[in-house]
Structure 1
Amino acid sequence: MAVYVDDAGIWWRQKRRYHMSADYLSELHEFARQLGVNVLWFDGVERHPHYDITAEQRQRAIARGAVAVSKREMVVIAREIRRDG
């Protein structure tokens, strides 16, 4: 099981945002909770469930063991997320 953060760096509200996903949906939600990511930042789109996170949150996620991946790798990973509740 793993959590992943991409390098997308999309500008939104004057900050760069990144995507965070995981092998399991429950793992993703728990990791986001531990980082203090607002649950409203979860985008549960069917093909790419993820959280949008700031650069600071991305750095903290990597420090806590999240795997840094490219934005292309993230699309593949997020499509394979297991919806375990």
Structure 2
Amino acid sequence: MSAPAIEPIEVVDAVEHHVSVELADAEKYENRTTLDESGIRSLHALAGTIYTLGYEAGVRAEHRRCRAEAQRRRDRDGAAS
């Protein structure tokens, strides 16, 4: 089993702002359902997962850029010999 995704504070704040808006809208409009604590925890878990996926994709992209740069360097060095 993998560890739960961790949200950075900016993501926590964004989710909490969304929750506040949703709760306020549920008070104003009769066709809105309020979020319960379980649903809010699920939103935080989803946000953490999305953040983790994005971070991991960024790490992979940076590794690919570094490998490409190293390959260009090898190609240049080989052509200069």
- The TM-score normalised by the length of structure 1 is 0.25
Higher helix share: 2
